[in-house]
């Protein structure tokens, strides 16, 4: 029968005739056959399947093996023995077919044992992509062929080595697709083996790193293939932190090896089927930044950034390339070199992406334009180089300054979080926010919170930074240096020691907690008086140089404190006997808001006004006394003064007095059963009856008389500071206590002014006190750089509102926050209450602002000495960090190793335990330290 079949197959009959004859032979082979006849058919089938050069003989051989093997399993087991398999190894497809038909038994065990040895020998000989892919397909279908015991680990490592030798054998799209499929099959086998034996992952990564970090080329071999990227895509992302952390801290890895490895990994962005490759590359770059290996980062960035940029042309690898490019470019902030390497390539890239006209291209264009604006903002001063680039992106979206600062701040090398912070405390890094903290010098959080609030008052900060050097203002000069370092230092936190010693409040005890509001009042008063004194000295010097004094010496201009925080309030008192009205206008830098007695309810409405204080402007329109809110806890509209109903005495100093009972008629408008800033401002502005021990001395009557007092604001400040008088003296218990009422804080506050007009103020900072006493607890500050602006008028271009990112300043710790956190802090932490509020006058509504003119927000240029001091300190800091990172060997090596590498590391814990205002920093990172040695 075998002779007949072979003759038919090799005959010259037409294919249809051959197929008919073959079908008859195959039907006969399904019937019982003698052993010799069956072995002959199997031998013929194997010979046709392996040695056939045409399609028909190979198909006939495959069919014959199938039929004989299925219907004569005993004979097939005898035929498909280890010796036969050894001869058939040149055709793994035939071996795979035989394994499918081989029945269980000792013969099968012998065959699988042979194959386990042979596949290991095969991969150790570094087969090409096609042969390696055949092995992968065989083992994926028949896992019993995978080497076992210690040989399995060696097999996995040799697969990694094979991938490193892969080269695309054919040119053109078809050859590239086939090559990609073969690499994916091999890496897929590795992933399958890892799932079955997770302990093999670590040695495979060790082998992978050994391949890509090799700096010596043996026999002039080519660099490792990018097909190794297909291995990385199968690594679990939860292992990334542990792998990167241990790799970047392994002292057995030289800088040259690390540079070579990360350079070759960056080349992997060109691998089209790699998933998560960009995440691993960025994670390793961050790991190097965390341990301050800046020299490696600088060299690899300059060497590879142009190649990464060129990959933006190809949609299939664009996403990974863009992620790596963004990180490389935004982190390279100490010099213009990396950005300037890309300048010639940006205009043609923009043109290509525009021509592509796809969603992917449009998204890439938007992100590329954002990157360009960030770098132009960071390294200005090259108009001739930037002009072609800016012309190319002129029609694309321009990010606002807040967005630019956010990107530059969170991605700078010195802002990368050190993963060693919990184990090596000196290795701390700048906050991801880009903002800089202030070191607590021993219960000095009350100073730090106020300084951060003043710093975030951008108009005041710009005013301070623009001041020229002036020996007559030593305190203002120290504040200028402090603000400049908070703006431009690379350090995560700076010490306010010099400024604190110069601004020390004389009656404060060193080392004890103090009232931040009291310190703020003293500081602003000192700055104001110092500037006035300096102005008078300058004026006298000018006058002494004149030949004759002027008839009317010019009046000194307003100080910086007056311009920014100075407002005016008018107090009018009317005698109820003679109806004489006396008035006095006073300047203020903050308003102290007392809490109404508990008996005063928001639902009570005020009585109709009984009198109006005369005005020089003539009769005014009748105004409401109650305060209305446009949106609860978001926008409040404070109506101006009206009726004077009798109210309890209020103290505008450091204490508010709560009486046992409030006189009838006291009214405060607001939501029932709640407090708000709206209520407190209304209570502050409400008319007051002066009776009994508080009677007023009337000059006209020349005696103490009952009177009514009313206050109103005649001029609003640029920055409105409101202090909530939470520390009171309770007359019932005769004890000082803190009022823990939760006060809703509006984002927009409309402040009434005399004459019926009002000014809008946007919330920009909130200083929070955590604790129950003014002599203890902790202060921290919520703040944002810029307050919300009015919506654009009709006809203007539709542009997004500036981002109003909130930050939480807690001594050295600075983190992102939100207005929701500000609003809900007391709800979550009852002892944490808003204490000092900063509101900024809405742009365009102040008396000095021109209609429609936006407020200037660019940071002013610093004078030469200050710029040089900051530059030197930044260089010193980078040197300190790199030196400390390289000297940590003894410390890290003494840490215990964990046998469970795959578990990874615990996530960083919040530094504040229980409350965001905790005074003592927590321990940082937790969990075991898993050491991975490459």
pLDDT in tens, 762-821: 999 999 998 877 777 789 999 997 544 444 433 333 433 444 789 999 888 888 888 988
- CA within 13 Å, CB half, 387: 2
User: In a 3-state reduction of DSSP, which class is residue 416?
Assistant: coil
Give the pLDDT confidence score for residue 805 in this predicted structure.
87
What residues contact 660, with CB distance under 8 A and at least 6 apart? 731, 732
Residue with tokens 């992302």: 237
Specify whether the CB–CB gap between 376 and 329 falls below 8 A: no
Q: Cα separation of 74 and 831, whole Å? A: 84
**Greatest Cα pair distance in the chain:** 143
Helix H or strand E encompassing 570: strand 567-575
At 405-443, the pLDDT tens digits run 888 877 677 554 443 333 333 345 567 788 899 998 888
User: Sign of the CA dihedral 494, 495, 499, 503?
Assistant: positive
Give the pLDDT confidence score for residue 249 in this predicted structure.
80
At 606-652, the pLDDT tens digits run 433 333 333 333 333 223 223 333 333 333 333 333 333 333 334 33
Q: Cα separation of 275 and 261, whole Å? A: 19
Give the pLDDT confidence score for residue 809 in this predicted structure.
92
Give the pLDDT confidence score for residue 916 in this predicted structure.
42
Give the pLDDT confidence score for residue 226 in this predicted structure.
85
Give the pLDDT confidence score for residue 573 in this predicted structure.
92
| Relative orientation angle of helices 55-71 and 92-101, to the nearest 10 degrees | 20
Q: Cα separation of 587 and 574, whole Å? A: 21
Give the pLDDT confidence score for residue 384 in this predicted structure.
67
Give the pLDDT confidence score for residue 81 in this predicted structure.
60
Mean pLDDT is lowest, of 832-841, 846-855, 874-883, for 846-855
- Looking at per-residue pLDDT, the higher value among 378 and 268 belongs to 268
Residue with tokens 């203007």: 796
**Considering the chain, what is the average pLDDT of its residues?**
74
Mean pLDDT over 55-69 rounds to 68
Give the pLDDT confidence score for residue 642 in this predicted structure.
32
Give the pLDDT confidence score for residue 471 in this predicted structure.
66
Confidence of residue 298 (pLDDT cuts 50, 70, 90): confident
User: In a 3-state reduction of DSSP, which class is residue 658?
Assistant: strand
Q: Cα separation of 247 and 931, whole Å? A: 9
Mean pLDDT over 291-315 rounds to 90
Confidence of residue 339 (pLDDT cuts 50, 70, 90): very high
Residue % of the chain over a pLDDT of 90: 22
pLDDT of 185 higher than 90: no
Burial 235-263 (b: 16+ CB within 10 A, else e): beeebbbbbbbbbbbbeebeeebbbbbbb
Mean pLDDT over 589-596 rounds to 90
Task: State the CB neighbour count (10 A cutoff) for residue 265.
Answer: 25
Q: Cα separation of 325 and 375, whole Å? A: 13
Size (the chain), residues: 934
Mean pLDDT over 480-498 rounds to 91
- Looking at per-residue pLDDT, the higher value among 159 and 660 belongs to 159
Confidence of residue 599 (pLDDT cuts 50, 70, 90): low
- Looking at per-residue pLDDT, the higher value among 61 and 898 belongs to 61
Q: Cα separation of 661 and 649, whole Å? A: 12
pLDDT of 456 higher than 90: yes
- Looking at per-residue pLDDT, the higher value among 87 and 566 belongs to 566
At 200-240, the pLDDT tens digits run 888 888 888 888 888 765 434 678 888 888 888 888 888 88
Mean pLDDT over 493-509 rounds to 91
Q: Cα separation of 683 and 652, whole Å? A: 12
- Identify which of 741, 93, 681, 816 has the alpha carbon closest to the alpha carbon of residue 406: 816
Show which residues are catalytic. 445, 778
Per-residue DSSP letters for 860-912?
PPPPHHHHHHHHHHHHHHHHHHHHHHHT-HHHHHTSPP-S-GGG--PPPPPSS
User: In a 3-state reduction of DSSP, which class is residue 134?
Assistant: helix
CA 575 to chain centre: 61
Confidence of residue 365 (pLDDT cuts 50, 70, 90): very high
Give the pLDDT confidence score for residue 633 in this predicted structure.
34
Where would I find the beta strands (DSSP E) of 405-521?
437-438, 493-494
Helix H or strand E encompassing 770: strand 758-770
pLDDT of 148 higher than 60: yes
pLDDT of 549 higher than 90: no
pTM for the full predicted model: 0.50
Mean pLDDT over 43-67 rounds to 66
């Amino acid at each position: 029968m075998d002779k007949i079949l072979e003759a038919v197959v090799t005959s010259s009959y037409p294919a249809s005739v051959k197929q008919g004859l073959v079908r008859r032979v195959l039907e006969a082979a399904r019937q019982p056959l003698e052993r010799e006849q069956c072995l002959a058919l199997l031998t013929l089938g194997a010979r046709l399947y392996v040695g056939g050069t045409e399609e028909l003989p190979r198909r006939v051989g495959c069919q014959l093996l199938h039929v004989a093997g299925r219907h004569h399993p005993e004979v097939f087991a005898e035929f498909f023995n280890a010796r036969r398999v050894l001869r058939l190894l040149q055709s793994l497809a035939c071996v795979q077919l035989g394994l499918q038909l081989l029945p269980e038994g000792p013969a099968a065990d012998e065959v699988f044992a042979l194959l386990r040895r042979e596949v290991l020998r095969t991969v150790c000989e570094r087969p090409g992509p096609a042969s390696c892919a055949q092995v992968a397909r065989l083992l994926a279908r028949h896992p019993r062929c995978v080497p076992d015991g210690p040989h399995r680990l060696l097999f996995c490592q040799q697969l990694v080595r094979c991938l490193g030798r892969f080269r695309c054998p054919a040119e053109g799209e078809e050859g590239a697709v086939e090559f990609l499929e073969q690499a994916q099959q091999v890496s897929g086998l590795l992933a399958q083996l890892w799932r079955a034996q997770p302990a093999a992952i670590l040695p495979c990564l060790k082998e992978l790193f050994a391949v890509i970090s090799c700096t010596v080329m043996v026999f002039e071999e080519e660099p490792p293939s990018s097909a190794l990227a297909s291995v990385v895509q199968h690594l679990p992302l939860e292992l990334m932190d542990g792998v990167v952390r241990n790799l970047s801290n392994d002292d057995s890895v030289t800088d040259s090896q690390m540079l070579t490895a990360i350079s070759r990994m960056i080349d992997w962005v060109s691998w089209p089927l790699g998933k998560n490759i960009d995440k691993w590359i960025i994670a390793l770059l961050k790991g190097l930044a965390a341990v301050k290996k800046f020299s490696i980062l600088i060299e690899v960035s300059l060497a590879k950034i142009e190649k990464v940029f060129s990959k933006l042309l190809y949609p299939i690898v664009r996403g990974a390339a863009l992620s790596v490019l963004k990180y490389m470019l935004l982190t390279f902030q100490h010099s213009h070199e990396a950005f300037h390497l890309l300048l010639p390539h940006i205009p043609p890239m923009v043109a290509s992406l525009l021509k592509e006209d796809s969603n992917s291209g449009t998204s890439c264009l938007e992100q590329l334009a954002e990157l360009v604006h960030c770098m132009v903002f960071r390294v200005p001063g090259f108009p001739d180089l930037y002009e072609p680039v800016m012309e190319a992106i002129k029609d694309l979206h321009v990010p606002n300054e807040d967005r630019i600062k956010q990107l530059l701040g969170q991605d700078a090398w010195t802002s990368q979080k050190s993963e060693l912070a919990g184990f090596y405390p000196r290795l701390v890094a700048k906050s991801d926010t880009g903002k800089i903290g202030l070191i607590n010098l021993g219960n000095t959080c009350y100073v730090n919170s106020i300084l951060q609030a003043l710093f975030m008052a951008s108009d005041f900060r710009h005013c301070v930074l623009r001041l020229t050097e002036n020996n007559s203002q030593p305190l203002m000069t120290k504040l200028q240096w402090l603000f400049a370092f908070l703006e431009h230092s690379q350090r995560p936190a700076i010490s306010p020691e010099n400024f604190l010693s110069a601004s020390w409040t004389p009656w404060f005890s060193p080392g004890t907690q103090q009232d931040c509001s009291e310190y703020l009042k003293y500081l602003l008063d000192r700055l104001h008086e110092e500037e006035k004194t300096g102005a008078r000295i300058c004026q006298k010097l000018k006058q002494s140089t004149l030949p004759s004094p002027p008839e009317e010496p010019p009046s000194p201009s307003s100080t910086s404190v007056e311009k920014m925080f100075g407002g005016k309030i008018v107090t009018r008192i009317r005698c109820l006997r003679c109806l004489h009205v006396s008035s006095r206008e006073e300047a203020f830098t903050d308003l102290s808001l007392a809490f109404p007695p508990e008996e005063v309810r928001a639902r009570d409405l005020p009585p109709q006004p009984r009198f109006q204080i005369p005005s020089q402007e003539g009769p005014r329109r009748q105004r409401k006394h109650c305060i209305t809110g446009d949106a609860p806890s978001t926008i409040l509209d404070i109506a101006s003064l009206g009726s004077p109903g009798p109210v309890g005495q209020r103290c505008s100093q450091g204490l508010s007095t709560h009486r046992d009972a409030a006189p009838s008629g006291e009214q405060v408008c607001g939501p029932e059963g709640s407090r708000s800033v709206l209520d407190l401002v209304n209570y502050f502005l409400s008319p007051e009856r002066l009776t009994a021990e508080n009677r007023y001395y009337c000059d006209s009557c020349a005696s103490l008389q009952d009177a009514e007092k009313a206050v109103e604001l005649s001029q609003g400040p640029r920055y409105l500071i409101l202090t909530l008088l939470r520390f009171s003296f309770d007359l019932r218990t005769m004890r000082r206590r803190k009022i823990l009422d939760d006060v809703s804080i509006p984002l927009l506050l409309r402040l009434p002014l005399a004459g019926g007009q009002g000014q809008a103020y946007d919330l920009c900072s909130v200083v929070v006190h955590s604790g129950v006493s003014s002599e203890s607890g902790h202060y921290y500050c919520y703040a944002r750089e810029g307050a919300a602006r009015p919506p654009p008028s009709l006809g203007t271009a539709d542009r997004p509102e500036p981002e109003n990112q909130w930050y939480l300043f807690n001594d050295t710790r600075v983190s992102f926050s939100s207005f929701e956190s500000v609003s809900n802090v007391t709800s979550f932490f009852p002892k944490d209450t808003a204490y000092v509020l900063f509101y900024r006058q809405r742009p365009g509504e102040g008396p000095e602002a021109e209609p429609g003119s936006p407020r200037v927000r660019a940071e002013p240029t610093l004078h030469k000495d200050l710029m040089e001091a900051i530059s030197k300190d930044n260089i010193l800091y980078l040197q300190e960090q790199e030196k400390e990172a390289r000297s940590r060997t003894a410390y890290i090596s003494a840490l215990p190793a964990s046998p469970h590498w795959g578990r990874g590391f615990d996530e960083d814990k919040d530094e504040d335990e229980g409350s965001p205002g905790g005074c003592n920093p927590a321990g940082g990172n937790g969990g075991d330290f898993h050491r991975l040695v490459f």
